Amino acid sequence: MAEVIPFWVAGRPTTGDEVVTITHPYDASMVGRTTYASPEQVEAAVGAAAEVAQEAAALPAHVRAGALDHVSRRIKEWSEDFARLITAENGKPLTWARAEVGRAVSTFRWAAEEARRFGGELQRLDTDPAGTGRVAVIRRFPRGPVLGITPFNFPLNLVAHKVAPAIAVGTPIVIKPAPATPLTALLLGELLAETDLPPGMFSILPLPNERAEALVTDDRLPVVSFTGSVSVGWQIRRMVPTKHVTLELGGNAAVVVCPDWSSDADLDLAATRIATFSNYQAGQSCIAVQRVYADQAVYERLKDRIVAAVEKLATGDPFDERTQVGPLISEAAARRVEEWVSEAVAAGGRILTGGRREGANYEPTVLENVPADAKVCREEVFGPVLVLSATSSVEEAFAAVNDSAYGLQAGVFTHRVDTAFAAYRALTVGGVIIGDVPSYRADQMPYGGTKASGVGREGVRSAMEDYTEPRVMVLTGLEL
């Protein structure tokens, strides 16, 4: 029997009585065993976070930055261990797991840099006679301990996007990782425990989702940063209206291919990017390409290229170095995708390639002629499914992108600067990626959405601002 992997309460390893086994999505083999935190252990974690909050806020910048630099270096040293663990518990192919680890290295490094320059500003007030001799010092101070709730699809880097900004600003954080993928977060805890951060600065608590409410409603955790499903996210916000809540939820990300993007090289590039990023992580990304609106002038040529590119993607065992598309997180998730595709076909949609399921594996699938009210268009598929549609104008395509409850990111393939700015103005999304798919994300840039896709922004600096609030000190009687 495999050893029980400890979780982290106030920076110290511990175990509970309720053992949980984590299995590999591809073949259901055992990956490892850990335990759920008991109510008493949850209380100890939250109590320690509250107790250390003032000490954490007073940590010198070099201490916070040094801890973040250490974690960044150690993730890089352990990069293959992290990648193989991500693949084991999440099922994403090694090539994508390694990319996630590389991003986490950068996320902690960037947070270390931001910690060193998160210094506030000095503002002269003598712009009016009443302010003569006065100057304002404006700094941001932590709101208080943070509860970070993370999903299964990026079990390292989305934990990093909660933890690294918290350390950077000097605030404790309690992480509740996804029940399907806690082991990667627990391995990260080993590296955090090597630092000189005070006890109580971090806890990582495996819990089933139905036991998270006590953490969400605990007044000692005034900030909640949640990444996950739309329904749960908005339920959290309704549950704690007086807390500061950041929600990074979901989307049904769209691509617009404009008529000027028409050369063979243009269409080859667009097809390759669309095929790759509708299926990376088996489509289990909030910004995976789900909808494509191509101008009718290029639609048929693009469609053939996309289908060919999708059919070239290697599927199978995610530990095989050649595999590009692995399983979904569970057979239940694959069955749901199968049902949605069947509904789309019954409503008149046509499968151009794919459409078959085996266990937790669902073939990369391309559809066309799908009614706009089908689930594969209206909701977040979170699977390897792509819907193609032809449009008669750029304006029609932009309207189709906006005809969605979601607004996370969109991609626009165009060479025209005026079209790029028109998209930037017209598309009600958090980010517009010109000349590429919506799946591009740099970890230092603001990231988040509009409408049902959430509130607030992630990205290291943006999260640091979310975790803090401005405080003003006015100095009087100065000769400026």
C-alpha torsion 190→195→197→200, nearest 10 = 10
Q: What is the CA radius of gyration of the chain?
A: 24
Q: 101 in helix, strand or coil?
A: helix
Among residues 441, 111, 423, 76, which one has the least CA distance to residue 281? Answer: 441
Residue with structure tokens 């590999």?
Answer: 24
Residue type, 218: D
- Cα gap 382→398, rounded to integer Å: 22
Say if CB 182 and CB 12 are below 8 A apart: no
For 421-424, which contacts have Cβ atoms below 8 Å and span 24 or more sequence positions? 422/394, 422/398, 423/256, 423/398
Among residues 375, 386, 441, 364, which one has the least CA distance to residue 408? Answer: 441
| 286 labelled catalytic | yes
Residue with structure tokens 């996950």?
Answer: 228
| Catalytic hit among 114, 286, 338, 363 | 286
DSSP 394-414: HHHHHHHHHSSSEESEEEEE-
Q: What angle (nearest 5°) sits at the alpha carbon of residue 479, between those of residues 475 and 480?
A: 85
- Cα gap 295→397, rounded to integer Å: 8
Q: 226 in helix, strand or coil?
A: strand
- Cα gap 317→340, rounded to integer Å: 24
Run of H or E including 236: helix 230-239
Among residues 148, 211, 10, 177, which one has the least CA distance to residue 85? Answer: 177
Run of H or E including 146: strand 146-149
| 248 labelled catalytic | yes
| Catalytic hit among 89, 248, 368, 465 | 248
Q: Hey, which residues are catalytic here?
A: 248, 286
